[in-house]
Amino acid sequence: MSDATGNGHGPSGNGTPTRVPPDDPRLQPYAKHPAAVELVATLAIFLGVLGFVGFGIAYWVADSPQWEAATLGVGLLATGAGLIMWGKYLMPQGPFVEERHPFPSSEEDRAAFSAAVVDRGGLVLRRRKVLGGMVALASAVAGIVLIFPLRSLGPKPGRTLFRTNWHTGSQLVSLAGRPVHVNDLNVGGILTVFPKGFVGSSPDQVVLIRLSGGPDPAPLSPPGKTSWGVAGYVAYSKMCTHLGCPVGLYQEQTQQLVCPCHQSIFDVNSGAIPEFGPAARPLPQLPITANGHGFLVAKAGFDQAVGPGFWERP
């Protein structure tokens, strides 16, 4: 196989590669205006550096998944675009052809070939010092800020996934913080409530429904839970047992709660067992009663973990 360029810079007759002179046309970049391309590539990688720095700020200060995704995306895309421009338009266009020679090569042949490769690579780096430095800076900044999310791997949740802020005597309050009285809801009414002092806490959100009127507890079929309601009221965790979406749609005629995310349906008159959809477990029920002033309070906390399943869940 002979040198494709035919300019006398190919391997020597004994198979030893010769050094490529700096003015060899094969070492010239593909771009017609390499200085302009180098400037654009440098600016793109610099934009990537700013994106990585923005990701670090968004993670530590803003704590916003949207900003974290946006800044990390800018960092990766801009840096990638700069590297592509460098590799496609600023690297030697070649081709470089080497004669097949007997194996194994002699020490002299291998030394000459290594020198030729180092010559070519060193020439490219010497020509692009600013761009190479910017790539090194982007790599260093990206490597540092991408360590930050390791903090989110801990601490271990321990038993916190099994507990909520509901306990014996916790008063049911609305999102506005107003205590709920037994006369507040009509039959078929529904209200999102929280334990007093923890309004807005996602794991503590409970959907309160009045299934019937009168002083008797709501009719519940699961054994052992017939006294978990009061005056026709029942209370269930609002976190779907599938993926934790808020189960806030209530069909009064069928007495069913519907999860708007994946359409799991729960029968609230039978312990909120799932009747349709991907949810596999009932919504945990909160036992409630009324205090001496007629305000609704919890008789106890949940008897199981709320929300979707996790590894430690029995």
**Domain end call among 103, 121, 153:** 153
Residues 311 and 174 in one domain: yes
Residues 52 and 129 in one domain: yes
Residues 117 and 69 in one domain: yes
DSSP the chain: ---SS-SS-S--TTSPPPPPPTT-GGGSBS-SSHHHHHHHHHHHHHHHHHHHHHHHHIIIII--HHHHHHHHHHHHHHHHHHHHHIIIIISB---------PSSPPHHHHHHHHHHHHHHHHHHHHHTHHHHHHHHHHHHHHHHHTTGGGGGG-S--TTGGG--S--TTPBEE-TTSPBPBTTSS-TT-EEEEEETT-TT-GGG-EEEEE---SSSPPP--STT-TTS-BTTEEEEESB-TTT--B--EEETTTTEEE-TTT--EEEGGGTSEEEESS--SPPPBPPEEE-TTSBEEESS--SS--SS--TT--
Residue 4 domain-assigned? no
Residues 47 and 110 in one domain: yes
19-40 mean pLDDT? 74
Q: What angle do CA 272, 277, 281 make, to 5 degrees?
A: 40
Cα dihedral: 120, 123, 128, 130 (round 10): 120
What tens digit of pLDDT does each residue of 168-188 get?
Answer: 999 999 999 999 999 999 988
Residues 47 and 181 in one domain: no
Residue 95 domain-assigned? yes
Residues 201 and 127 in one domain: no
Confidence of residue 275 (pLDDT cuts 50, 70, 90): very high
CB atoms within 10 A of CB 64: 12
Residues 47 and 115 in one domain: yes
Residue 294 domain-assigned? yes
Residue 298 domain-assigned? yes
Q: Give the per-residue pLDDT at 27.
A: 65
Contacts of 126 (CB under 8 A, 6+ apart): none
Residue 183 domain-assigned? yes
Residues 54 and 127 in one domain: yes
Residue 82 domain-assigned? yes
Q: Are 240 and 308 in contact (CB under 8 A)?
A: yes
* pLDDT reading at 87 higher than 90: no
Residue 7 domain-assigned? no
Residue whose C-alpha is closest to residue 287's, from 245, 241, 224: 224
- Pairwise CA distance, residues 139 & 122, whole Å: 20
Residues 74 and 40 in one domain: yes
Residues 235 and 120 in one domain: no
What tens digit of pLDDT does each residue of 223-274 get?
Answer: 667 788 888 899 999 999 999 899 989 998 888 999 999 999 999 888 899 9
Q: Are 236 and 257 in contact (CB under 8 A)?
A: yes
Place of tokens 């477990």: 281
Residue 282 belongs to domain with CATH number? 2.102.10.10
Q: What angle do CA 73, 75, 80 make, to 5 degrees?
A: 95
Residues 205 and 242 in one domain: yes
* pLDDT reading at 14 higher than 80: no
Residue 193 domain-assigned? yes
Contacts of 265 (CB under 8 A, 6+ apart): 256, 257, 258, 259, 274, 275, 276, 277
**Domain end call among 111, 126, 153:** 153
Q: Give the per-residue pLDDT at 139.
A: 87
Residues 186 and 254 in one domain: yes
Lowest mean pLDDT among 38-52, 118-132, 220-234: 118-132
**Domain end call among 109, 129, 153:** 153
The arrangement of strands across the sheet holding 190-195 comes to 172-173, 190-195, 206-210, 233-237
Q: What domain count does the chain have?
A: 2
Lowest mean pLDDT among 18-22, 43-47, 59-63, 102-106: 18-22
Pair of tokens at residue 121: 């690579």
Structural domain range at position 39: 25-153
Q: Above pLDDT 70, what percent of the chain?
A: 76
300-308 mean pLDDT? 89
